[in-house]
Amino acid sequence: MKKELEKLLQRRTFIIKPEIQIKYLIITIILIALTGIAVFFYVNLTIASSTKLENLTLSDIAMIKDLIFKSMVSVLSIITLIVIIEGILFLHKLTGPLFVIEKMMKMISEGDLTLQLKLRKGDELHSLAEEFQNMVNSLNKNIREEKIVVENIKNQLNEIIDVSKKGLDKEFQEKIDSIQLQLSKLYSKYKI
């Protein structure tokens, strides 16, 4: 499991959580397109209502509109490409840590409390990762302390059994054995 986590921290794939990354890239592209459409209609309205263009023929005005439209499509295409590249890079730095934390949560739910979460330098969510690691460390510490208490209880039970072994009836012995078994199993699923 730890090797899997180390691989996650050295991820090279930029589309890590496509359901998040692609969704927000599509939303951004739609916003760029809507902005372009709004600007195009505003420019057309401005040209149509401008008194400074009265001396031009309709074909001259149509040519100006066509040039403006082609220029806007070119500029919006370049902006869209830049936003897609920047968006992928930014979302990678955001979804990558989420992906790693999600995997760590799964490993912790399976009982491994020895994990150490260290994000890459350029990643986002460092404060979330730090708080997450503090939580894991706290759980680890609490379970270690409780495990010591459980071991002390087991030792005391063993002393009671040793001292009074001769005089114990079978039912009392079974209850003590059951308690010992339960105490032994209590923390066996955790790796601390």
| pLDDT above 60 (res 161) | yes
Q: What is the rounded average pLDDT of the residues 83-96?
A: 86
Predicted confidence at residue 79, as pLDDT, reads 92
pLDDT tens per residue across span 105-134 = 998 888 888 888 888 888 888 888 999 999
User: Is the backbone of residue 173 left (phi > 0), alpha (psi -120 to 50) or beta?
Assistant: alpha
Tell if the pTM clears 0.75, that is, is over it.
no
Report the alpha-carbon distance of residue 172 to residue 169 in Å, rounded: 6
> Predicted confidence band at 3 (pLDDT cuts at 50, 70, 90)?
low
Exposure class string for 88-99: b at 16+ Cβ within 10 A, else e: eeebbbbbbbbb
Q: What is the rounded average pLDDT of the residues 20-41?
A: 90
Range with lowest mean pLDDT among 15-19, 39-43, 93-97 = 15-19
Predicted confidence at residue 136, as pLDDT, reads 92
Predicted confidence at residue 10, as pLDDT, reads 58
Q: Are 8 and 103 in contact (CB under 8 A)?
A: yes
Report the alpha-carbon distance of residue 123 to residue 111 in Å, rounded: 27
pLDDT tens per residue across span 33-85 = 999 999 988 988 888 888 888 888 889 888 988 999 999 999 999 999 999 88
Alpha helices in the chain (DSSP H): 2-9, 18-49, 58-109, 126-163, 170-186
**33 vs 175, residue with greater confidence:** 33
| pLDDT above 80 (res 12) | no
Closest CA to 187 of 157, 143, 149, 156: 143
